[in-house]
Chain A
Amino acid sequence: MVSSQKNPPAPVAVEERLFSLVLALLATDAGLTKNEILSTVQGYRQRYDPAGDNTSLERQFERDKDDIRELGVPLETTEPPGEPGNNQSLRYRIPRAAYELPADISFSDAETTLLNLAAMAWREGSLSRESQRALLKLRSIGGDTSEPVLGYAPRIRTRDAAFDPLSDALSRRLIVSFPYLKPGDAAARLRTVSPLALVQHQGRWHLKGIDNGVGEPRTFLLSRITGPVKLSRQGFELAPGTYASSALEELDEIWESNLAELEVRPGTDAAVRLSRRRGAEPGDGDRVRLHFTDVNLLADELAGFGPEVRVLGPAHLVDAVVTRLRAAVRMHSPAPEGEAG
């Protein structure tokens, strides 16, 4: 940003510029044009050149608009009647009623405690920042969120690298693409998806979205996304709906319909843990029946229990477990070669 002005403008902190922008747009009923904003609002006006080119300042304004909208600030654009399509005459404002938290919304101490705990559960990933901001807003209306909830440290994990970019794309309604390795396929294939919902089921994050390659909804396991998630600039229309809860219902239906029959060795880790799992049904003797959503995920887990568990069925689960056990033996015997090299 080369400035040819004689007196270089004193730098204005980013938050001061954003704060001034919000104040100016809240104060106006009729709205301000872009030119009025750039020439008068603190943080822009210092860099505004009335005679020259303000392209970089305009780009700054575009980014700032995105930034404050992301915070939940409703920034409205209106087109004055009689001048359709004229970009320069667009007016910007923040309608007070849509900005302010409705006056009837307040939170009791018990509710505030729960919200504090809910925010605490997001200790990693981008949603931790979102929850911290939500807590600031709670404190703004007086909620005392400083009281620690004794005894609990809940944590929602978002270990999958794909979680942050996908949750970003979800809220911005942008089409994404990512390499996805379907079990049984030799290599990952690039998928282009319009994200509908992110849900956690059985401790695993799933993306529900329209797979644009087939034009149909699909569910993707985040742990099978093998490379970077790329956000396109292309948005898509999303009718309001309960995509997340229906995605969970679908997963529950699949879970309900799949049943594994196991034999567990008494007194072992497998016996103690598997028989206490949600929906586990004790069978004859040492048998346990378990519901599952994904045969490969369950096979991973059961293979890990080694000789503590024997899978009786279904056959494709037995095969999947045996494949893993054989691979484990093959990869670890005999002694490693090439250590010296």
Chain B
Amino acid sequence: MARTGDDAQQFSYAQDKLTFLLTLVPYLIDHGRVSVATAAAHFQVSEKQIRDAVSLIAVSGVPGETTQYQHGDLFDISWDDFDERDEIVITHMVALDDSPRFSAREAAALIAGLQYLQSLPENVDSGVYSSLMDKLARGASESPSQVAIASTDATGALTELRAALERGVQLEFDYLSSRGSQEHRRVDPLRIDSDNEDWYLRAWDHRREAVRTFRLDRMTSLEVTDEPVTGAHDDVVLGDRLFQGAADDLVVTIELDPSALSLLGEFVSNLDTRALQPAQSDAPGAGAGRVRARIRVAHIHGLKRVVTAMPSAVTVIDPPEARAAVVEWASAALAQYE
């Protein structure tokens, strides 16, 4: 299970490389003898990264009494084992033998992450979370930074989805698309994704014979069947993007305030930020600093909702049908108040 190549994390910053060295040494000392492959798999780095780090550790040490980095002032390894058997044995150590504490921010990041996970319907009682957070705080060199995430009541469907995933069975539910049409779906669940407070199911849709992303809060009449999933779907690669563009997508030109980019939510993943163009000053509603972009959307219905929510930040420029769809949507809503 050695991880090499693409799977390995690369450290781009000297601080991360230093952390790797400071964490690798205690691990090696603890293990007495460990193969390069095992250490690489454990730290999820390439074997080359382990070899490079060990080679550096073996010539590192303290200035010592002579301030000349004499032999006894340096780490040493068994070079025969290293060169011939690709195994690491530290034979002499200096100054460092235990693992470092967490920094205030590192502890804070994990604590906030745990707070976020508390909404997951795992069989973990809250005592486990609080004892973990307490350990992280005690294991930090300073009190953790004040970062917190409100725990949310994740929708009840999560428990059932989780059960279906674990048992490897199919799911059935009614799904309301953003077009407004209700359809019955039968799927093989693949993964539960979240994006802050929004939860999604990535699943193999039987009728469409493709992977689809479903918002949990749009599912109704959810049923966990007893039928096993139709395949392992090992060939399916689930990226981080929840929604993928398709060839028959509608291309829409929008104009937006760059500071509103973060508000566009799921649409932002479809937006090629390199293609942003400064807006023409005579364009309707153009304000200072607005930019134009072309985005691909599956249909206008999702976009018209976003645009109607934030008309001062995002405007549809083209095509005319898309502009008309926004006007129709907003006018129908306004009619209720007149």
Give chain B interface residues in 69-119, CB to chain A under 8 Å.
69, 94-96, 98-110, 112-114, 116-117
Number of interface residues of B (CB under 8 A): 129
| Cα–Cα, bound, A96→B96 (Å) | 9
CB distance from B250 to the nearest CB of A (A): 16
Tell me which residues across on chain B come within 8 A of A42, comparing CB atoms. Answer: 60, 63, 69
Known contacts A139-B42, A304-B309, A325-B334: A19-B327 contact under CB 8 Å: no
Mind listing 17 A-B residue pairs with CB under 8 Å? A27-B94, A27-B95, A72-B103, A73-B141, A131-B110, A137-B23, A198-B146, A200-B148, A200-B196, A202-B197, A272-B217, A277-B217, A303-B309, A303-B311, A318-B337, A325-B331, A332-B327
B212 within 8 A of A: no
Interface 9-residue window, one of A49-57, A77-85, A212-220, A237-245: A237-245
Q: Which residues of B contact A (CB under 8 A)?
A: 1, 3, 9, 13-24, 26-27, 30, 41-44, 56, 60-63, 67, 69, 94-96, 98-110, 112-114, 116-117, 120, 124, 128-129, 132, 135, 138-143, 145-150, 152-153, 155, 162, 165-166, 176, 178, 180, 182, 191-198, 215, 217-218, 220, 238, 240, 259, 261-263, 268, 280, 282-285, 304-312, 315-318, 320, 323-324, 326-327, 329-337
Determine the residue in chain B with the shortest Cβ distance to A252: B150
Known contacts A118-B117, A307-B336: A223-B262 contact under CB 8 Å: yes
CB of A278 within 8 A of CB of B153, answer: yes
Q: Which residues of A contact B (CB under 8 A)?
A: 13-16, 18-20, 22-24, 26-27, 39-42, 45, 67-68, 70-74, 96, 98-103, 105, 107, 110-111, 114-115, 117-123, 127, 129-134, 136-137, 139-142, 144-146, 150-157, 159-161, 167, 170-171, 196-203, 208, 223, 226-227, 240, 242-245, 247-248, 251-252, 267-269, 272-273, 276-278, 300-301, 303-307, 309-310, 318, 321-322, 324-333, 335-339, 341
Tell me which residues across on chain B come within 8 A of A157, comparing CB atoms. Answer: 195-196
| Cα–Cα, bound, A122→B147 (Å) | 13
Determine the residue in chain B with the shortest Cβ distance to A204: B196
Tell me which residues across on chain B come within 8 A of A333, comparing CB atoms. Answer: 323-324, 327
CB of B218 within 8 A of CB of A272, answer: yes
Helix, strand, loop or mixed for chain A's interface? helix
Tell me which residues across on chain B come within 8 A of A121, comparing CB atoms. Answer: 113, 116-117, 194
Tell me which residues across on chain B come within 8 A of A196, comparing CB atoms. Answer: 146
Tell me which residues across on chain B come within 8 A of A244, comparing CB atoms. Answer: 146-148
Cross-chain contact of A134 among B106, B149, B312 (Cβ < 8 A): B106
| Cα–Cα, bound, A267→B94 (Å) | 70
CB distance from B148 to the nearest CB of A (A): 4
